[in-house]
Structure 1
Amino acid sequence: MLLRERQTAEGLLVSVCDAACLGETYEEGEVSLNVTEAFYGGDDAEAVGDDAVVESLARASVANIVGEASVAVAIDAGVVDETRVLSIEGTPHAQLVRM
């Protein structure tokens, strides 16, 4: 999984995706998800395991999560509700916002 953290005025923004999803675009009806290098990858992204993803999501104010493995880790950690996960072309996508 690729993990990227950015500090924003609103708090910690975390992006997580399965490495195989990077660079892909998923479309279904009017919904389009572009897993760009600029947002999910780049020099700040790290290849990490489950524990690092869970630790980062626990601190996140906002998170975007794409891919079967990445979303499964968030669900297993209790950070994401499985019933709220979108599937776009069969690829899971979840967002987290803490207020």
Structure 2
Amino acid sequence: MRVTERQTPEGLLVAVCDSDILGETFEAEELSLTVTDEFYGGDEVDEETVIESLARADVANIVGTRAVSLAIEEGFIDEANVLDVGETRHAQLLRLY
């Protein structure tokens, strides 16, 4: 998986994607999602690093079947809040303090 971390005025933004979908575009009805290198093309990391990044995130965008499944398994995302976009899945995390 790929992880990118950015500091924003709203806190730490983490972008996670499955490595094999980088550069792909997925569509479903009126929704289109492009997994751009500029946003998601961070470092190739293992699952533990993804979990650590998501644990620190104030905001996270997660795309890819594997990445979203990991976020669900680790309790960051509720299955009911996941979007199926074509052949992949997408979820967002927002921590409110």
Q: Per the shorter chain, which TM-score range? A: over 0.9
Does 1:52 find its partner at 2:49?
yes
What amino acid does structure 2 have at the position aligned with 1:63? Answer: A
After superposition, the CA RMSD in angstroms is 0.7
* Distance in 2, Cα, partners of 1:29 & 1:82: 20
The corresponding residue for 2:74 is 77
What amino acid does structure 1 have at the position aligned with 2:19? Answer: A
Q: CA deviation at 1:40?
A: 0.4
Regions of 4+ moved over 2 Å: none
Q: CA deviation at 1:33?
A: 0.5
Secondary structure at 1:78 match in 2: coil
1:29-81 alpha-carbon deviations (Å, 9 max, x no partner): 1111110011001xxx1111111111110110110001111111101100000
Query: Unaligned 5+ residue runs, structure 1?
Result: none
* Distance in 2, Cα, partners of 1:25 & 1:98: 27
Does 1:97 find its partner at 2:94?
yes
May I ask how many residue pairs the two structures share in their alignment? 96
Secondary structure at 2:62 match in 1: strand
Query: Unaligned 5+ residue runs, structure 2?
Result: none
* Distance in 1, Cα, partners of 2:91 & 2:21: 14
